[in-house]
Amino acid sequence: MHTTMPQPFCSWRSQAFRGLFFQVLVASLIIGLVLYLVHNTRLNMTARGIQSGWDFLLGGSGFDIGESLFSYDAAEPYWKAYLIGFSNTLRVALLGIVLTTVLGTLIGIGRLSRNALVRGLCLCYIEFFRNIPVLLQLLMWYLLLTEVLPSSSDPLALGPLFLSKGGLNFPIPIWSDGYLLAGAGLAVGLAAVCYQRQRAQRSGALARRFSALQALGTVLAAGLVGWLLGGAPCAMQLPQQGAFAIENGGALSPEFLAVLLGLTVYTAAFVAELVRAGILSVSHGQSEAALALGLGRMQSMRLVTLPQALQVIIPPLSNQYLNLTKNSSLAVAVGYPDVVSIANTAINQTGRAVECIALVMLVYLSTSLLTSLGMNWYNRRAEIRER
């Protein structure tokens, strides 16, 4: 009986050795190319008298930031200015993703409505907003917010809200220790839901798993208990109309609103089509079986159709989230102080173009990778496992 002798690993006939060799070779070539480009760039910058290095991050920026979640002074260093810009980018991206998901899902379901008027309105929304460049939409919203709305001295009152050319002013709670207990209650409720789900998965008791509404109710109830134990604080700081502007309360600038609205309505048009395609990919027999079991149309959509449609929706939905985050770099066109705006100002003041652009690239690369990791994790969680 003839047998093939195993090849030693270091032999060229070994497939594993050849694979490892070519991988190391390609990696070495890429690293060498990058080092050559970096060295060549530094030589050219030195020959032209262009300064380089990262020491400028420790120096005072000398400029103020008009909108930020944290206090910032012109005497503070550039690295903190970049953090402020990153937080502004993250704020509009995260809130935009949430609003886009809700709006896109509703419009996608509306495209399949039995009501012709609802279908037509959803179709008009999709075809209008997805066929206009997002930059033009940002400018459109910004012009509407700064030209059409009344001035801050005569704002449009919507209950406790004030809407004007100065932005949207809204009430904010006055901080007290009771909110710490409310937050602790929410954390305890979330931990209880996670523990119950893991326990149900180990035991295979699918019937004892919380539904989404039950889980949300548990978390909110725990937060409510913590809020009551903390004295039920409810004092609010209300916005008030001053002589020249709206005072007190919280405020969203017209720049932030323009970026948020533009990115949300634009990306939601694409998400709506993803949702519609995902729903149509589910066999019609599934919804017929759900109706035969006595489920209503909304119950059938929520419990039967959408969970199966997620297999088709989630992968391209991740791309739309990435596009929304990267499109937030267009906020510089309307004066919103995101990380790109901070980088442009730093370039004009320091001349460190390579370093500033590298920081912006690092910000968008890291946020995109984190978004991809999160969506891949959710995609694995949403998989329907057959027995």
Confidence grade of residue 121 (pLDDT, cut at 50, 70, 90): very high
| pLDDT confidence of residue 260 | 94
For residues 312, 314, 316, 321, the Cα torsion angle rounded to the nearest 10 degrees is 160
Q: What does the H/E/C string look like for the chain?
A: CCCCCCCCCCCCCCHHHHHHHHHHHHHHHHHHHHHHHHHHHHHHHHHCCCCCCCHHHHCECCCCCCCCCCCCCCCCEHHHHHHHHHHHHHHHHHHHHHHHHHHHHHHHHHCCCCCHHHHHHHHHHHHHHCCCCHHHHHHHHHHHHHHHCCCCCCCEEECCEEEECCEEEECEECCCCHHHHHHHHHHHHHHHHHHHHHHHHHHCCHHHCCCHHHHHHHHHHHHHHHHHHCCCCCCEECCEECCCCEECCEEECHHHHHHHHHHHHHHHHHHHHHHHHHHHHCCHHHHHHHHHCCCCHHHHHHHHHHHHHHHHHHHHHHHHHHHHHHHHHHHHHHCCCCHHHHHHHHHHHHCCHHHHHHHHHHHHHHHHHHHHHHHHHHHHHCCCCCC
* Closest among 275, 255, 266 to 113, alpha carbons compared: 275
| pLDDT confidence of residue 202 | 65
C-beta of residue 237 within 8 angstroms of C-beta of residue 249 = yes
| pLDDT confidence of residue 259 | 94
Confidence grade of residue 46 (pLDDT, cut at 50, 70, 90): confident
Confidence grade of residue 384 (pLDDT, cut at 50, 70, 90): low
C-beta of residue 318 within 8 angstroms of C-beta of residue 372 = yes
- The radius of gyration computed from the CA coordinates of the chain, to the nearest angstrom, equals 27
* Closest among 91, 61, 56, 55 to 73, alpha carbons compared: 61
| pLDDT confidence of residue 1 | 46
Confidence grade of residue 208 (pLDDT, cut at 50, 70, 90): very low
Tell me: pLDDT of 122 over 70.
yes
Share of the chain above pLDDT 90, in %: 32
Tell me: pLDDT of 215 over 70.
yes
Query: Is pLDDT larger for residue 268 or for residue 212?
Result: 268
pLDDT, averaged across the chain: 83
Q: What is the pairing mode between strands 172-173 and 236-237?
A: antiparallel
Q: What average pLDDT score do residues 357-384 get?
A: 87
C-beta of residue 135 within 8 angstroms of C-beta of residue 333 = yes
* Closest among 253, 265, 252, 325 to 138, alpha carbons compared: 265
Confidence grade of residue 206 (pLDDT, cut at 50, 70, 90): very low
Structural tokens at position 351: 């001349």
| pLDDT confidence of residue 264 | 95
Of 110-124, 201-215, 265-279, 322-336, the range with the lowest mean pLDDT is 201-215
Q: What angle do CA 199, 205, 211 make, to 5 degrees?
A: 80
Name the residue with tokens 């060498």.
32
pTM of the model: 0.80
| pLDDT confidence of residue 211 | 61
Task: Please write the tens of the pLDDT for every residue from 4-31.
Answer: 555 565 676 777 777 888 899 999 999 9
Tell me: pLDDT of 205 over 60.
no
Task: Please write the tens of the pLDDT for every residue from 88-120.
Answer: 999 999 999 999 999 999 999 899 888 999 999
C-beta of residue 157 within 8 angstroms of C-beta of residue 172 = no
Phi and psi at residue 151, to the nearest 5°: -75, 170
Phi and psi at residue 160, to the nearest 5°: -80, 0
Confidence grade of residue 261 (pLDDT, cut at 50, 70, 90): very high
Query: Is pLDDT larger for residue 369 or for residue 308?
Result: 369
Name the residue with tokens 């079991």.
293
Confidence grade of residue 255 (pLDDT, cut at 50, 70, 90): very high
Task: Please write the tens of the pLDDT for every residue from 63-93.
Answer: 888 888 888 888 888 899 999 999 999 999 9
The one-letter amino acid code at 183 reads: G
| pLDDT confidence of residue 157 | 81
Q: 17 to each of 12, 22, 23, how far by Cα in Å? A: 7, 9, 10
| pLDDT confidence of residue 125 | 95
CATH topology of domain 78-154+252-381: MetI-like fold (1.10.3720)
Query: Exposed/middle/buried for 265, CB within 10 Å: 0-12, 13-18, 19+?
Result: buried
Positive or negative: CA dihedral 95, 97, 100, 106: negative
Q: 243 to each of 151, 155, 170, how far by Cα in Å? A: 12, 12, 18
